[in-house]
Amino acid sequence: MSEENNEEKKSVDFIREIINEHNKNGKYDSRVHTRFPPEPNGYLHIGHAKSICLNFGLAAEYNGRCNLRFDDTNPSKEEQEYVDSIKEDVSWLGFEWDEECYASDYYEQLYDWAVELIKKGKAYVCDLTDQEIREYRGTMGGGKEGTPPGKDSPHRDRSVEENLDLFTRMRDGEFEDGSKTLRAKIDMAHPNLNMRDPVMYRIQRAHHHRTGDKWCIYPMYDYTHGQSDSLEKITHSICTLEFENHRPLYDWYLDELDLYHPQQIEFARLNLTYTVLSKRRLLTLVMDKYVDNWDDPRMPTIAGFRRRGYTPEAIRNFCKRIGVAKADSRIDLALLEHCLRDDLNKRASRFMGVLDPLKVVITNYPEDGEDILEAVNNPEDESAGVRKVPFSRELYIEREDFMEDAPKKFFRLSVGREVRLRYAYFITCTEVIKDQAGNVVELRCTYDPETRGGDAPDGRKVKGTLHWVSAKHALKSEVRLYDRLFTVENPDAERDNWLNCLNPDSLEIKSEVFVEPAIAELKTGDFFQFERTGYFCVDKDTTAEKMVFNRSVGLKDSWAKIQNK
RNA sequence: UGCCCCCUAGUCUAAUGGCAGGACAGAUGAUUCUGGUUCAUUUAGUCGGGGUUCGAAUCCCUGGGGGGCAACCA
């Protein structure tokens, strides 16, 4: 055995441990068949990415299979748009599902099983209202004697014949929405509330995105999920922690119906600092227009990250690095950003763009002079080649790269100081032009023709290197800078106050941005780096007249750290 | 206060009864035509108490803390 193999055996997460054990004892004939089971009631987010990477990753690692299954049991909240977006996002992340399944394809089978349970005396039609069901179920905590037991429904002892008749008529549409339910007959005193005669079917006249108006009764998730896994011969049914208490119920259905048992394994869902990941809250952000849409680059949705300029590679790497465990945790957003930088540093072409322009006139450069300089596209990847960058007498540099009363640690431009313009010349600032209000509006500089390309033949060094663009060659474009959507690390802890923690500065639009002409070749979705400012991508709002760029993530900025001290 | 789950540096995660390690974040320095990258160094941890054991992050007991569950949602 190679060392590598030993290394791998050294450290596996608890899920892989369970699977290894199963493979050793032959529980599933060494089969590994997982599934990713979203409900199509919203867009996928980074938390789903964790689950996707886990389920599809497991299948790939163990030479198994992974289904994409839509748990579409609540037609009032589900839509085809969400089905489409989910498929697009899973594919974009780089995964291929073996079978595309829908819980709604099992409706007929589920119905037959419900009839079977009724015949066994294990299910009954109940006329209690939702309010009454809640009251009869009892509550958590309470008395010294333990959880107060629930009360039996008055309809609990209906005959099999009556239940069969009633359930058939429920399906036939004889009863009002919500007027009756089918319930499992388990134990109203069970310490696990999920086992106190849970609802299996409710009456709901809603148009289903796949079954249309065929049904007016719909199975509950809890009655559907376990059997769906069973039908698909799933071996390891991986889900999040909140379903742990439901596992006995899934097992109960499977046992009573004498069906194949997958092994359910629960793990802790992903939480991210400065982010909300609950579907309900994301829906609020979109519907109430706190963000533009599901793919707003500030959204933690897969679509949002894609538009923001995140790569599938970065997200997959992130999911690998956060691991999987049962302890609740909240991952530092900085780790996600690190994964993006790590990927893009190796792959993104560099360009120059000035976000906050300050005009510079090179006084000793010919009026109509022009020069074409050569720039390296990616210092981390020689195969990326070089490009041409035009230079002329009037340039733009970044406003923050000039300071009048510059401290020693400021390596950039100031009157009398010499810096390098990247891939161009050394320049020295000679004069500051201000408007009547005293704002710096222009810099006069001289250049040293001997330093063409960026090195001085006499060997002298400069501390700073600035990015720049030639004024007459520059393309005017728009840049959108993003910051965290929330001002607090854990918006969830704010309860109903969470919307008050939205970061008012999460979006900053720079509409007077000047970029080098080579940028024009880029297409929507392409990623690149603006040297010294960050990684960007071309937004879909780009038009023939104006390009629009999203900043995906900034570069690490040690100057900012020095300033903050 | 019923049931279930969890507790290792600031954060996340390893160590499966035998030297508490890695990553991110932080700090310091070197290199650098990006104050980027890279490299080196470095700060920092087993929730408390008791027990079993030659030996406990790990097993047991107990206390504490965190999370989940009372939709005809998933």
Each residue of A335-393: pLDDT tens digit? 999 999 999 999 999 999 999 999 999 999 999 999 999 999 999 999 999 999 999 99
- Cβ of A338 near strand B (under 7 Å)? The reply is yes
Whether A20 is covered by a domain: the verdict is no
Quick one: A338 and A359 in the same domain?
no
Return mean pLDDT, chain A. Answer: 95
Q: Residue type at A501? A: C
Give A425-461 as a DSSP string. -EEEEEEEEE-TT--EEEEEEEEEGGGTTS--TT---
Predicted local distance difference test score (pLDDT) of residue A544:
94
Quick one: A109 and A246 in the same domain?
yes
A204: confidence class by pLDDT, cuts 50, 70, 90: very high
pLDDT of A5 strictly over 60 = no
Predicted local distance difference test score (pLDDT) of residue A310:
98
- Cβ of A380 near strand B (under 7 Å)? The reply is yes
- Cα A179 → chain centroid: 40
Please tell me the distance from the alpha carbon of residue A324 to that of residue A110, in angstroms, as a whole number.
Answer: 33
Nucleic strand B contact set for A 203-262 (CB, < 7 Å): 203-204, 218, 220-222, 241-246
Last residue of a domain, one of A445, A467, A489: A467
What's the rounded mean pLDDT across residues A470-496?
96
Whether A58 is covered by a domain: the verdict is yes
Quick one: A133 and A37 in the same domain?
yes
Quick one: A337 and A415 in the same domain?
no
Whether A17 is covered by a domain: the verdict is no
Predicted local distance difference test score (pLDDT) of residue A144:
41
Q: What is the DSSP letter of A302?
A: H
Whether A18 is covered by a domain: the verdict is no
Q: Closest CA to B24 C1' — which residue? A: A335
Predicted local distance difference test score (pLDDT) of residue A495:
86
- Rounded, the Å distance between the CA of A304 and C1' of B35 is 30
Please tell me the distance from the alpha carbon of residue A222 to that of residue A187, in angstroms, as a whole number.
Answer: 16
How many domains, in total, are found in chain A? Answer: 3
Quick one: A313 and A445 in the same domain?
no
Residues of chain A with pLDDT > 70, as a percent, come to 97
What's the rounded mean pLDDT across residues A479-507?
95
ipTM value of the model? Answer: 0.97
Whether A245 is covered by a domain: the verdict is yes
Which CATH number characterizes residue A540's domain?
A: 2.40.240.10
Last residue of a domain, one of A247, A267, A287: A267
pLDDT of A6 strictly over 60 = no
A148: confidence class by pLDDT, cuts 50, 70, 90: confident
Q: Which domain holds residue A414?
A: 353-467
Whether A42 is covered by a domain: the verdict is yes
Which CATH number characterizes residue A251's domain?
A: 3.40.50.620
Q: At what angle do helices A160-171 and A107-119 cross, to 10 degrees?
A: 160
Quick one: A251 and A173 in the same domain?
yes
**pTM of the full predicted structure?**
0.96
What's the rounded mean pLDDT across residues A314-342?
97
A93: confidence class by pLDDT, cuts 50, 70, 90: very high
Quick one: A343 and A357 in the same domain?
no
Quick one: A417 and A291 in the same domain?
no
Quick one: A405 and A423 in the same domain?
yes
Quick one: A301 and A257 in the same domain?
no
pLDDT of A269 strictly over 80 = yes
> pLDDT tens-digit profile of A522-549?
999 999 999 999 999 999 999 999 999 9
Quick one: A156 and A295 in the same domain?
no
> pLDDT tens-digit profile of A73-88?
999 999 999 999 999 9
Quick one: A365 and A337 in the same domain?
no
Do the Cβ atoms of A53 and A33 come closer than 8 Å? no
Nucleic strand B contact set for A 468-527 (CB, < 7 Å): none
Whether A125 is covered by a domain: the verdict is yes
